[in-house]
Amino acid sequence: MVIDPMELAREAAQAAEDKKGLDVLILDITQISTVADYFVLSTGNSSTQVKAIADHVEEKLTEAGIKPLRREGVREGRWILLDYGDVVVHVFQQEDRAYYNLERLWGDAQVVNYE
């Protein structure tokens, strides 16, 4: 099944919200990077919540016929990355999100409203 990258990013962001992900946002990096088209960022309060958010995102997208190409950080649960090619989902614990500050690093990216 082929799904538009923007729609995939929106589905991932909504799934993160479903599990009470904090500060969920989509960064449109199409004009500034070839790494992906969109980053979806979300924060959890604990490794348990970070894992639950990532699991729910993966479950929802799998239901839509989309499986991640790669999963990183699942064991530690501090920063989980789900790579869907055009869309990369990042689920952080608060201190890791603040430390890596992808919003600043990708400061030229446009924030996309997903609701």
The span from the CA of 115 to the CA of 112, in Å, is: 9
Could you give the C-alpha distances from 96 to 1, 85, 112, in angstroms and in order? 34, 23, 22
**Range of the structural domain that residue 17 is part of:** 5-112
CATH number of the structural domain spanning residue 55? 3.30.460.10
pLDDT(5) > 90: yes
Neighbours of 18 (CB within 10 A): 13
How many separate domains does the chain show?
Answer: 1
Q: What is the pLDDT of residues 25-45, one digit of tens each?
A: 999 999 999 999 999 999 999
Instruction: Give the number of C-alpha atoms closer than 13 A to the C-alpha of residue 86, restricted to the C-beta side.
Output: 14
Chain mean pLDDT for the chain: 95
Neighbours of 31 (CB within 10 A): 9
